[in-house]
Structure 1
Amino acid sequence: MNTSSTSSETGPGDASGPAAGTASAPGTGPAPGTAPAAAPVRRSGAASSAIMASGTLVSRVLGFVKAVLITVAVGSVTTVADVFELANTLPNLIYVLVAGGIFNAVLVPQIIKASRNAEDQGADYISRLLTLAVLALLGVAAVVVVLAGPIIRLMGTDWDDGMLALGTTFALFTFPQLFFYGLYTVVGQVLNAKGAFGAYMWAPVLNNVVAIAGLLVFVQQFGAYQQDPHTLENWTAGKTLWLAGTATLGVVLQALILFLPLRRLGLGLRPRFGWRGIGLSTAARLGGWTLATGVIANLAFLVLTKVAAIPTGYRPEHLAMDPPQQIAGVTALNQASMLYSLPHGVIGLSIATVLFNRMAAAATEGDRAGMVSSLSSSLRITGVATVFAAVALVVYAGPLGMLFSGGVPSAGAVVGQVVAVIAIGAPFMSTSFMLGRAFYAQEDARTPFLVQIGVAVFTVACAAAIWAFVAPKHMIFAVAGCYAAQNVLSTLLYHRVLVRRVGDYDVARVLDSHARILAAALLAGAAGAVVLHLLGGYDPAGFAWGSQLTAVVVLAVGGTAMGAVYLVALRLCRVEELGSLLRPVLARLGR
Structure 2
Amino acid sequence: MQRSGARSSAIMASGTLISRVLGFAKALLITVAIGSLTTMADVFELANNLPNLIYVLIAGGVFNAVLVPQIIKASKNPDAGADYISRLITLAVLALLGVTAVVVACAIPIIRIMGPGWSEGQLTMAITFALITFPQIFFYGLYTVVGQVLNAKGAFGAYMWAPVLNNIIAIAGLVVFIYQFGPFARTPHTLENWTSAQTFWLVGMSTVGVIAQALILFWPLKRLGLGLRPKFGWRGIGLSTAAKLGGWTLATGVIANLAFLALTRTAAIPTGARNVDPSGGVSEQIAGVTALNQASLLYSLPHGVIGLSIATVLFNRMAAAADAKDRDSLVSSLSSSMRITSVATVFCMVALIVYAGPLGMMFSGGIAPAGAVIGQVITVIAIGAPFMSTAFMLGRAFYAQEDARTPFIVQVIVSIFTVIAAVAIARALPPEYMVFAVAGCYAAQNILATLLYHFALKRRIGDYDVARILGAHARILAASLVAGLGGVVALWLMGGYDTGGFPWQNQVTAFLSVMVGGVAMGLVYLLAMKVFRVEEFGSLIGPLKARLGR
1:571 aligned onto 2:530: yes
The one of 385, 388, 392 equivalent to 1:429 is: 388
Identity %: 74
Preserved CA contact (<8 Å) 2:104 2:134: yes
1:365–1:201 distance in 2 versus 1, CA, 3 Å: closer
1:90 aligned onto 2:53: no
TM-score by length of 2: 0.91
Deviates more, 1:242-251 or 1:565-574: 565-574
Deviates more, 1:477-486 or 1:435-444: 435-444
- 1:55 to partner: Cα distance: 2.6
Matches within 5 A, 1:435-446: 435-446=394-405
1:435–1:238 distance in 2 versus 1, CA, 3 Å: same
1:251 equivalent in structure 2: 210
- 1:381 to partner: Cα distance: 3.1
The one of 429, 440, 458 equivalent to 1:481 is: 440
- 1:504 to partner: Cα distance: 4.2
Structure 1: segments with no counterpart, 5+ residues: 1-43
1:484–1:246 distance in 2 versus 1, CA, 3 Å: same
Deviates more, 1:187-196 or 1:568-577: 187-196
Aligned residues: 546
Matches within 5 A, 1:449-468: 449-468=408-427
- 1:238 to partner: Cα distance: 0.9
1:60 counterpart letter in structure 2: R
Deviates more, 1:374-383 or 1:408-417: 374-383
1:390 counterpart letter in structure 2: M
2:16 equivalent in structure 1: 56
1:242 aligned onto 2:177: no
1:536 aligned onto 2:479: no
TM-score by length of 1: 0.85
2:138 equivalent in structure 1: 179
| CA distance, structure 1, for counterparts of residue 496 and residue 94 of structure 2 | 54
- 1:401 to partner: Cα distance: 0.5
- Cα deviation per residue 1:231-290 (whole Å; 9 max; x = unaligned)? 111111111110000000111122222334444555554444444444434420133333
- Cα deviation per residue 1:435-463 (whole Å; 9 max; x = unaligned)? 33443454433222211111111111111
Select the structure that is richer in helix: 2
| CA distance, structure 2, for counterparts of residue 556 and residue 269 of structure 1 | 47
Preserved CA contact (<8 Å) 1:319 1:326: no
Preserved CA contact (<8 Å) 2:66 2:399: no
1:496 aligned onto 2:462: no
1:579 counterpart letter in structure 2: G
2:487 counterpart letter in structure 1: G
1:566 counterpart letter in structure 2: Y
Matches within 5 A, 1:10-159: 51-104=11-64, 113-119=73-79, 122-159=81-118
2:311 equivalent in structure 1: 352
- 1:399 to partner: Cα distance: 0.6
The one of 527, 540, 550 equivalent to 1:581 is: 540
2:127 equivalent in structure 1: 168
- 1:115 to partner: Cα distance: 4.8
| CA distance, structure 2, for counterparts of residue 334 and residue 47 of structure 1 | 32
1:221 counterpart letter in structure 2: Q
1:590–1:82 distance in 2 versus 1, CA, 3 Å: farther
* CA RMSD in angstroms, aligned pairs only: 2.8
Preserved CA contact (<8 Å) 1:105 1:283: no
| CA distance, structure 2, for counterparts of residue 363 and residue 81 of structure 1 | 46
Structure 2: segments with no counterpart, 5+ residues: none
| CA distance, structure 1, for counterparts of residue 298 and residue 533 of structure 2 | 28
Deviates more, 1:401-410 or 1:53-62: 53-62
1:65 counterpart letter in structure 2: A
The one of 383, 386, 400 equivalent to 2:342 is: 383
| CA distance, structure 1, for counterparts of residue 20 and residue 338 of structure 2 | 24
- 1:396 to partner: Cα distance: 0.1
| CA distance, structure 2, for counterparts of residue 296 and residue 367 of structure 1 | 32
1:365–1:461 distance in 2 versus 1, CA, 3 Å: same
1:191–1:361 distance in 2 versus 1, CA, 3 Å: closer
- 1:508 to partner: Cα distance: 4.1
**SS of structure 2 residue aligned to 1:316:** coil
**SS of structure 2 residue aligned to 1:230:** coil
1:291 aligned onto 2:250: yes
2:17 counterpart letter in structure 1: L
| CA distance, structure 1, for counterparts of residue 159 and residue 481 of structure 2 | 39
